Structure 1
């Protein structure tokens, strides 16, 4: 039997007992009369009534405490209008019962309120799960189409096994296995591109994370992403149809290449300044082969702030997501990304780009990584 039902039965027994006690008191006073009836009342009946009242107050206090704990969930700003109305109505009913000290109505009205909240929370959870499924499917589309032509038979077999595993997880909607499974797939692909894994690569939703807090082994050398290159070519062709010239002036950069570049910047501007616009070796997105520095027809503006307000930069900001690219270091987000605004630095993420773009978040914010 549930706690609520047990309490309801206790409350009914309490009320019934109270009625019996009062009846006995009346009979005693009438039959015995005078001093004897009064003695029975104060010696037996009054204490019993006080005990019953104490039990009722205990029940009210218990539900008042539960209500206090539930209040933050009641105020969930992700509830839709219909859910907010339903929760508000259930809350009003409960508070009325509590204010009136109605020990019969309090448990049932609280259960109704809690159930209404839980139902709304489940709807939100299902929506989040559905969105997650879409995100994972989008990244999976990119990973499963990775070129395996130069993989060994064993490497290809490992990747294909992980592709099959991820497909099964998606088909069966096993939400709890999505993250682990897609990251295993991404890792099995990247294993081909490194001699030794002396630094653990970080993945989130199957996307490799490269920033100041998440770096890669020095031997990790995937080269320029073939998928990203094809996507860029299509983007450049479409921009050209609108009279704009897009140039990918810097894409893949090896660990040693990044080290040379970073060391040069440090020598010129000092480490603190260099760290705002250049990655330390092993931590650069360019080493993933997925970062594309894109400029316009004026090469003098490449990787310069003068590119920010050009037609090409504006076009990229509004259209790059359609081709699978996101602006990696947007303005006003240096505290999040670790780097100053770079209007030319784009990261290829595949189909999930539109979702990230629509969210208005950086990659770190969207994936909830530091």
Structure 2
């Protein structure tokens, strides 16, 4: 078997869709609620591929490469240049990301995944990426390939698909405009801890002002719940429960019915190794966010957590969360 890797073309779309549907089926077998497959899956996948491979002036630069042997398409790697969130400095430019919808067919020869990872890296480096990120959901082969290539865990996406009926929690209330300064202050503590864990999260000089503007706008958005603990002048924590975004989900999956709790911080997490007060306040805030999602009919949720924030990871595992996806970093 002679394996070669090249850039994908529009002619590859039908066979690429076959691979991506196999990939989606493997994720759905692990967790059919979190990774539910949409009814119009093939059409959606082919539409996304056609756009990625033909559209000009796309908002982000994408790279699709395929591994083939003769007429057999045996694997794909999908990568992109990832815009830096505005609260981070991003002095190394846009990082390159190898996405979770990279896949090798079961009959692909040993070494296919390693070759695909290397091809994705080359494409991103040639495009100017100084920092590389990778993400995977299932497959020991992909985890090992990223580790062998020098990637180390950066962020865990921990999930739970039984949000229960915790509902409202004593001491947790909806955020108001008066809470914005307190949310920003706690967010600054959160950002400093992130930077302490990993310098990738270098803080932008205007982070507070930018985050305050986003929080003020978020109060007007009907698709999310913003909640806080404590008084406006002495907040203990904040959480935002909102719909999951498409970047976390390949197009074969339906994001409707999945929520994400990303902006979530409590003073119990101030020490990255040890929870304060056994994490009771942080747990209460988490349950309130879950209850808000459940009230909207959400069946599964992600909580985004740095891999090195051990106290937060410990509490989330105690709350019933398991790692569903890992983002890793390489310089």
TM-score, scaled relative to structure 1: 0.26
Please state which structure has a larger fraction of its residues in helix: 1
TM-score, scaled relative to structure 2: 0.29
For CA contacts below 8 A with separation 6 or more, give which structure has more relative contact order.
2
Please state which structure has a larger fraction of its residues in strand: 2
